[in-house]
Amino acid sequence: MFAAGAAAGSPEMPQFRWENFTTENGLPDNHVFQIKVDGSQVWAATENGLALYRDGHWKVYGTQDGLAHRAVLSVDVDPRTGDVWAATMGGLSRFSAGRFDNYTQLNSGLPNDVVYGVAVQGDSVWVATAAGGARLDVKTGQWRHFNERNTPMYEIWTYGVSAGAEKVYYAVWGGGVLEYDVETGRWKDYNDPDGETEIVLLKDQGLIHEVTTSVSWAEKDHVLWVATYFGASRYDGRYWKNFMDKDSGLPSNFLNQVKAVDGNRAWFATDKGLAYYDGTNWSVYRPALDTKAPEMTVRDAQGKITRIEVTTAPSHNYILAVDFQGGDLWVATAHGVSHGIRLKQKETTK
């Protein structure tokens, strides 16, 4: 049944049985921009509504239910209340026990209706919009804007946000990374170290490129992961380490998202498959770019690539996002949602 197994001599990397969901089995749209695990259920941000996977079925919420806009770009869940925050092309929606409350640039302090990212941290809801970042204090209802006037942000097109108790990071598309220190309220920016070329010239000199798409803050280890359209970066507060397809196991330099497991491990959503880095080795999961057959490859520390025999793969190689459900993965792709069911060791080696 699970005809996969680690090839002799290759590192043991996680393996999955992939179950894929498209419009044929309940998704409102196959273009899925974000995915968020919420305990035993999963939220999918799609181009045509917000979808909830629960008890084996998808339930769809659209504008007719009160959603601010049909195109949902990001979603996060407040773990304390269960409220869902959906970033859309037409404002920010709060979904709470069946009720949608919408924040738009006309009816609230939301800076812009094009909301690319949302992250909930305590009583703060952080949003990344086409006109800068902002924070909503859900207790007071007060908005604070963060843009070129009060931060080192010289490009206001914020694309992603990752919020922790100590730090908040923005991926600014074309403007690198912005760091907010929660205790001091100070901002700091990370950009191309030479300040001219947008891309780092010397390996590991700094942030790999200023066209950032995603940030993921591993707060416990105080490590920041950054995804760009030109590779990935890891920053531990002192040293940068950069990853490109030519010198790592990344299948592509075009990254839509990075999702940290911790300070050493991360998953990467690329246009050529889903990649995992365990601190030493890499693995990639996708339909083969040529044959479309399920494919898994492992790259060890010496750069040796081993093909692992698998029978399933994510539904598309264009990956937009990933989230974790215990050992399982949920993946947003350009053709539906994929559920990676983690295979136990004995299953992978029989």
Partner 1 sequence: MRAASVVLGANAEERRVETRRRAQKCVRQVTLSFLASALWGFGPASVPPTPSPAYPSPIEIAVSANGSRLYVVCEGTDEVVEVDAAAGAVARRVRVGQHPKSVALSANGRQLYVANSWSDTVSVIDAASLKVVRELATGYEPNAAVADAEGRFLYVANRSGNDISVIDLERGVETKRLLAGRGAAYLELSADGRRVYCTHIYPLAGAFRSPNESEVTVIDTRRQVVVERERLENAAGIFHVASANGGRVAIAAEMRPKNLIPLAHVEHGWVIGNSLAVFGADIGEVVQVPIDELDRYYTPPFGLAVTPGNLQLFVSTTGSDSVTAIDLPKLLAYIRAATPEQRRLMANDLSASANYVSARIPVGRAPKGLALSPDGKRLYVANRTDDTISVIDTAAHRVTRTIGLGRAAAPTPERRGEGLFFSARFAFQGHFSCANCHIEGTIDGLAWDLEPDGFGVDIVENRLLEDIADTAPFKWNGSNPDLETECGPRTEKYFYRAQSYSPAELADIVSFVKSIPLRPNRYRRKDGELTAQQERGKAIFERGRSKNGAPIDDTNQCLGCHSGPHYTSQQLADVGTGKPTDRSPLVDVPQLTNVVLDAPYLHDGSARTLEEIWTVFNPHDRHGVTNDLSKDELNDLIEYLKTL
Q: Which residues bind partner 1 (CB under 8 A)?
A: 80-83, 94, 96-99, 101, 105-109, 111-112, 123, 131-132, 138-140, 142-145, 147, 149
CB 117, min distance to partner 1, A: 18
CB 216 within 8 A of CB 162: yes
Q: 51 or 84, CB closer to partner 1?
A: 84
Return the number of other C-beta atoms located less than 10 Å from residue 244's C-beta.
Answer: 16
- Residue placing its CB nearer to partner 1 in the complex, 141 or 327: 141
What is the sign, positive or negative, of the torsion defined by CA atoms of 65, 47, 231, 304? positive
Quick one: 147 or 264, whose CB is closer to partner 1? 147
- Please report where in the chains the tokens 């330099």 appear, as a residue: 253
Question: In sequence order, what are the beta bridge partners of 242?
Answer: 233
| Joined tokens for residue 337 | 């949602």
Q: Please state the closest distance from residue 301 (CB atom) to partner 1, in A.
A: 45
Q: How far is the CB of 129 from partner 1 (least distance, A)?
A: 10
DSSP-derived 3-state class of residue 64: helix
Rounded least distance, CB 199 to partner 1, Å: 31
Q: Are 75 and 118 in contact (CB under 8 A)?
A: yes
Q: Shortest distance, CB of residue 83 to partner 1, whole angstroms?
A: 6
Q: Are strands 231-235 and 223-228 parallel, antiparallel or unpaired?
A: antiparallel
Measure the CA–CA gap between 181 and 162, rounded to whole angstroms: 12
Report which of 303, 262, 263 is spatially closest to residue 282, judged by C-alpha positions: 303
Query: Nearest distance from residue 178's CB to partner 1, in Å?
Result: 16
Question: Is residue 129 a contact partner of residue 68, using CB atoms and an 8 Å limit?
Answer: no
